[in-house]
Amino acid sequence: MKLDPKVPTGPIEKSWDKARFELKLVNPANKRKFKVLVVGTGLAGSAAAASLAELGYEVEAFCVQDSARRAHSIAAQGGINAAKNYPNDGDSVWRLFYDTVKGGDFRAREANVYRLAQVSNSIIDQCAAQGVPFAREYGGTLSNRSFGGAQVSRTFYARGQTGQQLLLGAYSALMRQVGAGAVKLFPRREMLDLVVVDGAARGIVCRNLTTGATETYSGDAVLLCTGGYGNVFYLSTNANSCNVTATWRAHKRGAAFANPCFTQIHPTCIPVAGAHQSKLTLMSESLRNDGRIWVPKKKGDERGPADIPEEERDYYLERKYPAFGNLVPRDIASRAAKQVIDEGRGAKGALSVYLDFQAAIKRVGEDKVREKYGNLFDMYHHITDENPYKVPMRIYPAVHYTMGGLWVDYNLMTTIPGLFCLGEANFSDHGANRLGASALMQGLADGYFVLPYTIGGYFAGAKLAKVGTDHAAFKAVAAEVASNTAQLLAVRGKATPQELHRKLGRVMWDKVGMGRNARGLKEALAEIPALREEFWKTVAVSGSEESFNQTLERAGRVADFLEFGELLAKDALTREESCGGHFREEHQTEDGEAKRDDRNFSHVAAWEYAGEGKEPVRHAEPLTFDNVHIAQRNYA
């Protein structure tokens, strides 16, 4: 396998212009002749599908939910970054680029990140024009707030529902194209495999989740916009259906998987309440604009928050990182929370820290706080039965986002020609740690402003024979998919898919979670295959194949997580350094910060699938930093 990142040469400010100029174009009349299959209708998928249809391509779009509007992007809360510099506080494309590379702990491709920062402003323009109701100042201009890892206010938002509003904007653009007949929509379909013909991605095999039928779809290119794999940890802030299935199966067909161990643990989530918890709920990073994080100074302090006087509180982020205070990047805030909790200084001596709004409420009043964060406070109240306007929130870190994903070149193409990967599903722009409000930016950048250009370059240069679903390759892959499903149903064991998923989650969280070490990782590498074996002996999948069957859906996803989890642990074990969200306890500075090893690990690890039971092959794409001065991150 050869990794060619196809990064344009020359000054970084010009590289995207240069790349666009050099990409061959498909003339308008010919675009109609190309069919693109877009898997996933989140920000990345909806934006790409709509934009491609506007350009004249024939598009088919797929998602697992009953409507394209329900993709997990809908749940994003806090905001989206852009380098508009509307607040006049010193922001620029360069600064957004710089902050993102640094925030990612110098493990992202400079040219990709620069392009992301460059197109960020067009995203805001596009979304505003679509009627996305962004927050506004009294004069009618757009409002901004601050997010972690930045000292400027560059985050645009729609209350605590920014993802919802951006997705509904993209969805409306998509619906317009569906109404115009330019996009065909296939909801309640789960892509279960990729069809490769003559080395190029030519189609997909899906399960129709309503009827259970195995369906095949052919096209000239396939876009995977299928989101992140955080649910490999069982509990995460992701929606229940988030999965690794589409990218994992594509990986098994030849797409390299990059940096799977780069996972993000978000510092501010509602803590686990009990054994039957089915998901964790995020409390947006935006809350750290006004909320102050603290724990008691004393170990094992059992007093309620109101009984702990000011001088006995440790506002540990403000103390350790005075320059950024509560707005340090997520990996740093999460580890700091773990540290104080490990010291026995959690809220009421337990597994949480306080996020306190009393100072803000005193300063601006409860109404202003409600206007900014009302829906988040309500969510918190529903779940915990505590009123955060009166008592501080109790929060704890939780798995939230995955920086790793399918390896893509500068054009967002994977190692399989014709297979592109967008949004959270690819590995590209966030390095080892994503800054808040940058995932929405990346998903929409990929979908609206990058892929619609780069795909043309592929079509113009490729010689694609006519291939339909009657091609033998489709029949073969469909048969494999059907046999896999039959196997799941044939086990007839007693362990529910959830139960097995919970077991995997425990291993992943305990040994491949916030703090990783060689011993734990090796244990995980022994336990995951054993669990996989247990799965195939004991899984209980009731119901039938030819019907709506959520147990079967879940089982298939868990089976893939059980394979993928091993690769994640392997990647974590081989990366003998700490960087961003990947914290190897063996590699830390004296004050417990991540210690990178730039000499040996300034690269992307891209894994090649070598076949069932065979060791995957690790390839490295070297990273060079010509524009950003590489240094130990410092937020103090």
Ligand X SMILES: Cc1cc2nc3c(=O)[nH]c(=O)nc-3n(C[C@H](O)[C@H](O)[C@H](O)COP(=O)(O)OP(=O)(O)OC[C@H]3O[C@@H](n4cnc5c(N)ncnc54)[C@H](O)[C@@H]3O)c2cc1C
Q: Which residues are catalytic?
A: 330
185 binds, among ligand X, other proteins, none (CB under 5 to 8 A by kind): other proteins
Determine, following the binding rule CB under 6 A, whether residue 128 of this chain makes contact with ligand X. no
User: Please, what is the minimum distance in Å from the beta carbon of residue 460 to ligand X?
Assistant: 26
User: Please, what is the minimum distance in Å from the beta carbon of residue 28 to ligand X?
Assistant: 27
Closest alpha carbon to 37 in 219, 161, 252: 219
Determine, following the binding rule CB under 6 A, whether residue 44 of this chain makes contact with ligand X. yes
Determine, following the binding rule CB under 6 A, whether residue 117 of this chain makes contact with ligand X. no
Determine, following the binding rule CB under 6 A, whether residue 481 of this chain makes contact with ligand X. no
Closest alpha carbon to 83 in 93, 97, 98: 93
Determine, following the binding rule CB under 6 A, whether residue 149 of this chain makes contact with ligand X. no
The rounded distance, in Å, linking the Cα atoms of 606 and 251 is 11
Closest alpha carbon to 86 in 130, 138, 132, 152: 152
Determine, following the binding rule CB under 6 A, whether residue 63 of this chain makes contact with ligand X. yes
The rounded distance, in Å, linking the Cα atoms of 405 and 427 is 4
Enter the tokens of residue 460: 């113009």
Q: With 0-12 CB in 10 A as exposed, 13-18 as middle and 19+ as buried, what is 616?
A: middle
Q: Which of 196, 282, 525, 562 binds ligand X (CB under 6 A)?
A: 282
190 binds, among other proteins, ligand X, none (CB under 5 to 8 A by kind): ligand X
Mapped onto helix, strand or coil, the DSSP state of residue 551 is helix
Mapped onto helix, strand or coil, the DSSP state of residue 339 is helix
User: Please, what is the minimum distance in Å from the beta carbon of residue 588 to other proteins?
Assistant: 34
378 binds, among other proteins, ligand X, none (CB under 5 to 8 A by kind): other proteins
User: Please, what is the minimum distance in Å from the beta carbon of residue 196 to other proteins?
Assistant: 29
Do residues 218 and 469 touch, judged by C-beta distance below 8 A?
yes
DSSP label at residue 306: G
Determine, following the binding rule CB under 6 A, whether residue 457 of this chain makes contact with ligand X. no
Mask 390-429, x = binds ligand X (CB under 6 A)?
----------xx---------------------xxx----
DSSP label at residue 71: S
Q: With 0-12 CB in 10 A as exposed, 13-18 as middle and 19+ as buried, what is 194?
A: buried
Q: Which of 48, 124, 191, 445 binds ligand X (CB under 6 A)?
A: 191
Determine, following the binding rule CB under 6 A, whether residue 459 of this chain makes contact with ligand X. no
DSSP label at residue 106: S
Give whole-number Cα distances, 406 to 224, 394, 455, 583, in Å: 9, 35, 17, 21
Q: With 0-12 CB in 10 A as exposed, 13-18 as middle and 19+ as buried, what is 547?
A: exposed
- The one-letter amino acid code at 72 reads H
531 binds, among ligand X, other proteins, none (CB under 5 to 8 A by kind): none
Site residues (CB under 6 A) for ligand X, limited to 71-100: 71-73, 75-80
Residue with smaller CB distance to other proteins, 132 or 467: 132
Length of the chain: 636
246 binds, among other proteins, ligand X, none (CB under 5 to 8 A by kind): ligand X
Site residues (CB under 6 A) for ligand X, limited to 220-249: 225-228, 237-238, 243, 245-246
Residue with smaller CB distance to other proteins, 209 or 567: 209
495 binds, among ligand X, other proteins, none (CB under 5 to 8 A by kind): other proteins
Chain residue whose CB lies nearest ligand X: 42
